[in-house]
């Protein structure tokens, strides 16, 4: 069994953001590319996440959130943004074709390399 889930800069991940400001099921779904992670070394599991938010409008896709880890397991991390009010909870985990098909059915990924496809097309 692998260790706890670790986010790596330069990779794409599935991200679900839960918050009251989102319609329907209180969720926003997006592939994100992690550009940088900056642990704040406060002892409170707080880190800055710099990422590219592919499902935001062009021009506002580069994001920086200060997050506090809520839970970190083998397959995912839950974190709360301490920058947002009302609260936003992020669930970040490995991205696969099934997730893209469920949340973005109009995107046709004809390539087994999702990482490369997103880098070239997002």
Largest CA distance in the chain: 44
Q: How far is the C-alpha of 103 from the C-alpha of 16, rounded, in Å?
A: 10
pLDDT in tens, 95-122: 998 898 898 888 877 667 888 888 888 8
Kindly give the pairing relationship between strand 76-81 and strand 46-53: unpaired
Domain boundaries, the chain: 12-99
Please report which confidence band the pLDDT of residue 43 belongs to, taking 50, 70 and 90 as the band edges.
confident
pTM score, whole prediction: 0.88
Measured CA to CA, the distance from residue 79 to residue 66 in angstroms comes to 9
Cα–Cα distances (Å) from 63 to 18, 50, 118, in that order, read 16, 6, 17
């Amino acid at each position: 069994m692998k260790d706890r889930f670790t986010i790596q800069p330069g990779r794409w991940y599935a991200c679900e953001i839960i918050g009251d400001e989102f319609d329907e099921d209180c969720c926003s779904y997006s592939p994100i590319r992690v550009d940088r992670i900056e642990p704040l070394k406060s002892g409170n599991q707080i880190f800055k996440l710099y990422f590219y938010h592919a499902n935001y409008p062009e021009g506002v896709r580069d994001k920086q959130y200060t997050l506090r880890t809520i839970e970190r397991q083998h397959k995912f991390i839950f974190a709360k943004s301490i920058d947002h009010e009302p609260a936003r909870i992020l669930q970040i985990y490995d991205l696969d074709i099934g997730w893209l098909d469920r949340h973005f059915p109009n995107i046709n990924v004809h390539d087994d390399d999702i990482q490369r496809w997103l880098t070239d097309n997002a």
